[in-house]
Amino acid sequence: MTVETTVFLFTIGLGLVHILVMAMCNIPVYGLMPLLGARDNLPKSDNVFLNRAWRANDNFKETAIWALPLLVLVQVTGDANATTALGAWVYFWSRVAYLPIYFFGVHTLRTVAWFGGLIGIGMIALQLF
């Protein structure tokens, strides 16, 4: 399995971690029973951790829609190389770091982790030219 495929699969797993973190943050705020339904009438939460989990997940999705296709594309085109492998890992580990940094409100490091993800995406994308 290539590095790009490994990071692709790990990134999918990280997406599931984001979903689980959000679910675990929802339960103490709303209770389990209301969450079993359609959630049509749930009030907006002022719980800082729940809101951070939602925003971190939204941000993850905003980067994953770029990273995942690029990881596939460099393999399909035969442009995968040491730079795409490094870029894939830079993206992945930046996104791994981003979740707890954002969740616990670590100022400045959140932006560093976010930017690291973009650098990784850029490293992958530039190999296609």
- Domain ranges within the chain, ordered by starting residue: 3-126
**Phi then psi for 38, rounded to 5 degrees?**
-80, -10
CA–CA separation, 18 and 61 (whole Å): 10
Give pLDDT, residue 15: 98
Could you tell me which CATH number the domain at 3-126 has?
1.20.120.550
| Residue at 24: amino acid letter | M
Residue-wise pLDDT tens digits, 36-46: 888 888 899 99
Q: What are the structure tokens assigned to 87, written together?
A: 């870029």
pTM beyond cutoff 0.85: yes
| 10-residue averages of pLDDT along the chain (129 residues) | 97 98 94 88 92 96 98 97 98 98 95 97 97
- Specify the pLDDT at position 4: 97
pLDDT in tens, 94-109: 999 999 999 999 999 9
Q: How far is CA 91 from CA 32, 40, 48, 70, in A?
A: 34, 35, 26, 11
